[in-house]
Amino acid sequence: NCRMFYFFFESRNGAKDAPVVIWLTGGPGCASELALFYENGPFKINNDLSLSWNEYGWDKGSNIIFVDQPIGTGFSYSSDENDIPTDEAGVSNDLYTFLQAFFKEHPQFVKNEFYITGESYAGHYIPALASRVHKGNKNKEGIIINFKGLAIGNGLTNPRIQYQAYTQFALDNKLITKEDKADIDKLVPSCLDATKTCENEGGDSCNIAADECEQIFSSILSVAGNVNYYDIRKKCEGSLCYDFSNVETLLNKKTVRDALGVGDIEFVSCSNEVHRALNQDLMKNYEGDIPPLLEDGIKVLIYVGEFDLICNWLGE
């Protein structure tokens, strides 16, 4: 009953041996089209909804996949809401099934090097998917994917470290004062205790951990004011701190939906339903998936933008 929607762009320079790259947008529950049209895809959306080439598009050096995931995100859907995953095991299994279908549909790319990339909440997605692909290859499940590496940009992988880093990052960047930091730091011990309980017990304790730790972040924002927590040099515009109305307008045009074959599905930038489904996954730590990959020769790149507050470099 599940259908996963994706865009696939072959390398702009036509190189037959260019790697295949999959991009995973964070959220959780934010559509890959945000990256496609506003970040590293081949096109940018102009205000008149026309498209222009993105000179920094990753398709210049790769064959790139932008997939709407988890199920329920963007144009990906299921007729059964229970198919929306609630943890990374579910997310990674769905993506592994998608990749098997992708390479079956595009067998000419099976031999190309394959890389998993993404940002923000993909700090959860990527280690889990990388482990799933690596396991599938070792067990000779289906098509062997030529998996070579992963890249995580400003990722949330270990919440326990990230939440501790918020106040120091905010102080260093003059978002709060030393006095503010001292007050907000009083919230850290209960956050750490709750996170440890989440790791040990799971379930509802992870909801409690998310609530406890989120108080640190919200307290900083209450002092810092209308700051864009993805780029503290800017002001926050709208619920996502950026204006994505153009992509929603474009992708909800009937002519565009017909061309994409998505029927009458309404496109929204980020799905609250998917976000809620993964609430107990938020405070889980996935850094343990990385060392076994490194030991088996999988390349790992962690890169960061220095002005991102929400997944800042101090907490990487």
Domain that holds residue 165: 161-224
Q: Confidence band (pLDDT; 50, 70, 90) for 99?
A: very high
pLDDT at residue 81, as a whole number: 84
> Does a structural domain hold residue 310?
yes
Q: Is the pLDDT of residue 49 over 90?
A: yes
* Residues 157/117/3/267 CA torsion (nearest 10 deg): 90
Q: Which of 174, 193, 224 delimits the end of a domain? A: 224
- Is residue 117 domain-shared with residue 245, that is, in the same domain? yes
- Is residue 36 domain-shared with residue 13, that is, in the same domain? yes
CATH number of the domain within which 6 lies? 3.40.50.1820
Tens digit of each residue's pLDDT (9 = 90 or more) over 163-216: 999 999 999 999 999 999 999 999 999 999 999 999 999 999 999 999 999 999
- Is residue 149 domain-shared with residue 173, that is, in the same domain? no
> Does a structural domain hold residue 148?
yes
> Does a structural domain hold residue 230?
no
pTM, entire model: 0.95
Q: Is the pLDDT of residue 19 over 90?
A: yes
Q: H or E segment at 8?
A: strand 6-9
- Contact of 202 with 280, CB cutoff 8 Å: yes
- Is residue 132 domain-shared with residue 168, that is, in the same domain? no
- Is residue 41 domain-shared with residue 134, that is, in the same domain? yes
- Is residue 151 domain-shared with residue 77, that is, in the same domain? yes
> Does a structural domain hold residue 144?
yes
> Does a structural domain hold residue 234?
no
User: Mean per-residue pLDDT for 141-155?
Assistant: 97
Give the pairing of strands 147-155 and 114-120. Answer: parallel
Tokens read off for 84: 């929306």
> Does a structural domain hold residue 278?
yes
Q: Which of 182, 197, 224 delimits the end of a domain? A: 224
> Does a structural domain hold residue 211?
yes
- Is residue 8 domain-shared with residue 104, that is, in the same domain? yes
- Is residue 113 domain-shared with residue 138, that is, in the same domain? yes
pLDDT at residue 1, as a whole number: 78
Give the total number of structural domains in the chain: 2
> Does a structural domain hold residue 233?
no
For 164, phi and psi rounded to 5 degrees?
Answer: -65, -30
Asked if omega into 70 is within 30° of 0 (cis), the reply is yes
- Is residue 119 domain-shared with residue 167, that is, in the same domain? no
Tens digit of each residue's pLDDT (9 = 90 or more) over 216-268: 999 999 999 999 999 999 999 888 899 999 999 999 999 999 999 999 999 99
- Is residue 135 domain-shared with residue 35, that is, in the same domain? yes
- Is residue 180 domain-shared with residue 250, that is, in the same domain? no
- Is residue 208 domain-shared with residue 264, that is, in the same domain? no
